[in-house]
Structure 1
């Protein structure tokens, strides 16, 4: 290994990158460690392994990297491959290894490789908890990161509603054998879904599960996707402050007390939270115009429908973005029925709880008490319908740190704004086939024969897909006569009768 040098506990180079970028680099290098260490001596492999592991401290000088000098390295400084018969560090005997560490793994790359080789319907895949995705995988599978060099004036890439490879990073890494559809299926099957929320309250003398209909879908959006979405929301915030958005799209009320004054951005329709100065009641204002759904948000909507979070019968056509600063909240409420059910909210930047209850209590500014609290992880989607949307009220207590949420809803057809035009690229969306549907379709495609009954009610016809021929049901050829057997049997029977 050329240029052996003693590793330093601190490196000014890392100060040029934030914690997320350092973490992503660590995951990427971890996956490539077997390739990077190929042909190196064992001590040099250990050095690379520890150097990569030190990145996980994210510029923390407490993680040290063992030094290597000429006496420590088992080979000449000019050629670390001399002692490796096959040019691979794996050839070293276990007897020489006093370290319990796996020099070719930082605890993740083998697991990642195993995950991509498992069948989609294997028990291991269905029960394995969510693992951190590698940087390379996120770069390949990330719709939101697509088209980075093809931004339109609104800061969004038109990726034809798909997930093309990123231009800058994908070109620098080798091609992956898995197709885009296969990678999407892998992520789709790793989504954790909880649909069995239970909280019983007595309403009108009957015990009712007020959380019936709630669904929590975790890890719908990866870390890289979240970063891109948050970055775009921050751009919209700046545009709103500069007056570059329509008047009712952007709202930033004054923070006159704790819990009040969160920033909101509305797209698709303008919703009036309370009776305004003009006397307009709460609800969708048909005469008010806001900006249409940004393309990036439409890409998110397609993900929600395709990954079985929202049904294709309820594709959102509007959304509201909430930007919380520390201490901001949302008071107890039930969403207006001018928006049909289900609707959903996506969480970014920081985790917080959402409270549910038929009778939520206000304890103080931004503080509430409820029957049940549900944590909202980053990148997760909470779907509201049934009792969870219409019986229980919900609220978000004062958040401990900055948070962004995007709530997608579909307007009632009769409540849409004047002149509203449906988004053409949100029409006809269909969900990704799950394993059961895929298996059923495959079985049907392998069936080469189908039975068709004529319109006059006669015997069914058999169509041979392989030969492209159609004939009557074979049984119908003999339906009107009795089988008489071979001729010699008929002659013998006639002689006996006479």
Structure 2
């Protein structure tokens, strides 16, 4: 399966990008040379309705034009000359007959809201809990050891979650086949309860303990990592755009954990090779995460702490402040299969040799909601700064 579809347009909206990426990946098309591109254009044209099912009109047109652009020489007339306000059978045989009026009855779909408005509505419906409290004595004083924790629910829809989970399992298959770098995929033997979860690391390789070569715990700077897959970059863009993470801390690495029943993560504080905040996204099943300055080990995979937080399916837990640096955290043995993806930003001094930032991730701009007091204040501040800048420029010009 292709995981880095670099020829897709870069201006697709987040939701359509995830859907289109997964569907093209599922039919294993990633053209490279001219002959492959011509074949791919013909093949993808027949599958256009499958690829763009439920996509917005703008992204449908962008993909349609892009597919035709794969053909050598003058661009051919597109198979579909109108955006998908209409749909037909998803069978390729139906989609390949009859150009813009192919066989099969098409059902009209009226779009009542623009793509931007739909995204804004979803953004507004994200449930955000930033009020976690757990008081403990720290250096002789009472402190909220989980200050800085945030839980965001509704960032990824059930459909998006399904696609992400399927993609993770595809990555796991690639890892089993040895298609990644030496340190990317790890599936240690389950020698006791709680030990042996599958992990996959992208953007950097992290050493949890001194290894047999004498490398200390931390980011392995001399090991070339596998890059962050495109689908995970779409997730990062969503996290930034929807204000789950700040633009000052755009993730450049991630780790995927695949839990089988009984797997756990022992008490720890994340390495300071990574900046704060960082976040973890939960999939497949709900579990709880424990916090406390002193977490007790009760048995294999069993722990006790001062605060237990349920992590709903699809939720994003952000760790910052005391919640990241004072309190330890752990995941007790999970009762059922679970997947988590943790996104973090490396300290510049810890970048692996040859590392470079992903250019497309550095251009993400958070949504601004005019109905939100905080967003409105931010927008007015930005506009004010622009006005003041223009006034200063006029004064300088006047002095000349």
Q: Indicate yes or no: 2:77 matched with 1:192.
A: no
- SS of equivalent to 1:428: coil
Bigger Cα Rg: 1
Moved over 2 A (4+): 140-143, 146-157, 168-173, 434-445, 449-459
Aligned counterparts of 1:444 and 1:390: Cα–Cα separation in 2: 32
Aligned partner of residue 368 in structure 1, secondary structure: strand
Superposed, 1:436-475 pairs within 5 Å as 436=373, 437-438=375-376, 441=379, 452=391, 455=395
- RMSD in angstroms over aligned alpha carbons? 3.1
Q: Match of 2:66?
A: none
Tell whether the 8 Å contact from 1:141 to 1:165 is kept in structure 2 after alignment: no
- The residue number in structure 1 matching 2:148 is 213
Secondary structure in 1 matching 2:165: helix
Please list the CA deviations of residues 319-364 of structure 1 after superposition, one character each: whole Å capped at 9, or x if unmatched.
0000000000000000000000000000000000000000000000
CA distance in 1, matches of 2:244, 2:15: 18
Residues 314 and 442 (structure 1 numbering): CA distance in 2 closer, same or farther, change over 3 Å? closer
Pick aligned residue for 2:343 from 383, 402, 408: 408
User: CA, structure 1 residues 341+169, in 2 after alignment: closer, same or farther (shift >3 Å)?
Assistant: closer
* 3-state SS in 1 of match to 2:136: strand
Q: Is the 8 A contact 2:368 2:379 kept in 1?
A: no
Q: Quick check: 1:177 aligned with 2:112?
A: yes
TM-score normalised by the chain length of structure 2: 0.72
Task: Identify the residue that residue 4 of structure 1 maps to in structure 2.
Answer: none
Report how far residue 425 of structure 1 moved: 1.1
Report how far residue 428 of structure 1 moved.
Answer: 2.5
Match of 2:250 in 1: 315
For 1:154 and 1:365, locate their aligned partners in 2 and report how far apart those are by CA, in whole Å. 42
Offset, 1:146: 2.7
The answer to whether the Cα contact below 8 Å between 2:21 and 2:231 also exists between their aligned partners in 1 is no
Following superposition, the deviation at residue 214 of structure 1 comes to 0.3
Using the TM superposition, give the Cα deviation of residue 279 of structure 1 relative to its aligned residue in structure 2, in angstroms.
1.0
For 1:145, what is the secondary structure of its paired residue? helix
**Alpha-carbon distance in 2 for matches of 1:250, 1:167:** 32
- Give 2:202's aligned residue: 267
Correspondence 1:167 to 2:102: no
The equivalences for 1:226-265 within 5 A come to 226-265=161-200
Structure 2: distance between partners of 1:379 and 1:298: 17
Looking at structure 1, the residues matched to 199 and 358 of structure 2 have their Cα atoms a distance apart, in angstroms, of: 22
1:151 aligned onto 2:36? no
Tell me the secondary structure at the aligned position of residue 340 of structure 1. Answer: coil
Q: Which structure has the higher relative contact order (CA within 8 Å, separation 6+)?
A: 2
Is 1:426 equivalent to 2:354 in the alignment?
no
What runs of 5+ residues in structure 1 fail to find an aligned partner?
Answer: 1-139, 158-163, 460-498
Cα contact 2:280–2:341 (8 A) shared by 1: yes
* Contact 1:142 1:225 (C-alpha < 8 Å) held by counterparts: no
Q: What is the CA distance between 1:149 and its match in structure 2?
A: 4.7
Q: Contact (CA 8 Å) 1:156, 1:295: kept in 2 or not?
A: no
Q: Which runs of 5+ in 2 are unaligned?
A: 1-13, 32-48, 56-83, 88-107
Measured after TM superposition, the shift of residue 208 of structure 1 is 0.7
Match of 1:291 among 206, 226, 230: 226
Other structure's SS at 1:355 match: strand
Q: CA deviation at 1:219?
A: 1.1
Q: Distance in 2 between matches of 1:457 and 1:444?
A: 23
The two structures have a TM-score, normalised by structure 1, of: 0.58
Alignment of 1:101-120 (within 5 A): none
In the alignment, the residues of structure 1 paired with residue 21 and residue 181 of structure 2 have an alpha-carbon distance, to the nearest angstrom, of 27
